[in-house]
Amino acid sequence: MSKTLKQNPYIRFLIICLTAISLNSLTVSAQDTQAAPKTKSDAAKQAQQKVSGRVLRVDQSKSKYRVKVLQKSGRVVSVDVDKKSGKVSQKKKKD
């Protein structure tokens, strides 16, 4: 340890705090990310995590997978899964 750290406890405290904050932010960002789906099966699993139910069909376009899920209530819901980012978004319901 250098003389500066031994002599100045504030610098040592600051280094410990900054290290703790950076480690915490790495953990949070790792939890927020989703893997991009490589197959229709991956897209179906990601859609089921967002909307529980039975997957009826998975269609794919150039940029996304569209997954149709049958919920326990009997309602069919369309969920889009982005191919690049893995972001899952539910289509707006028509009432």
pLDDT in tens, 40-90: 999 999 999 989 999 999 999 999 999 999 999 999 999 999 999 999 998
pTM of the model: 0.61
Say whether both 25 and 66 belong to one domain.
no
Quick check: is 56 in a domain? yes
Quick check: is 95 in a domain? no
Domain that holds residue 24: 3-32
Q: How far is CA 42 from CA 1, 79, 80, 86, in A?
A: 49, 13, 12, 10
**Token representation of residue 73:** 């209530």
Q: Can you state the percent helix, strand and coil of the chain, rounding each to 5? A: 40, 25, 35
The answer to whether residue 92 scores a pLDDT higher than 80 is no
- pLDDT at residue 84, rounded to an integer: 92
Say whether both 83 and 50 belong to one domain.
yes
Q: How far is CA 85 from CA 15, 74, 82, in A?
A: 34, 30, 6
The answer to whether residue 94 scores a pLDDT higher than 60 is no
Number of domains in the chain: 2
Say whether both 11 and 53 belong to one domain.
no
Q: How confident is the model at residue 95 (pLDDT cuts 50, 70, 90)?
A: very low
Say whether both 28 and 66 belong to one domain.
no
Say whether both 78 and 48 belong to one domain.
yes
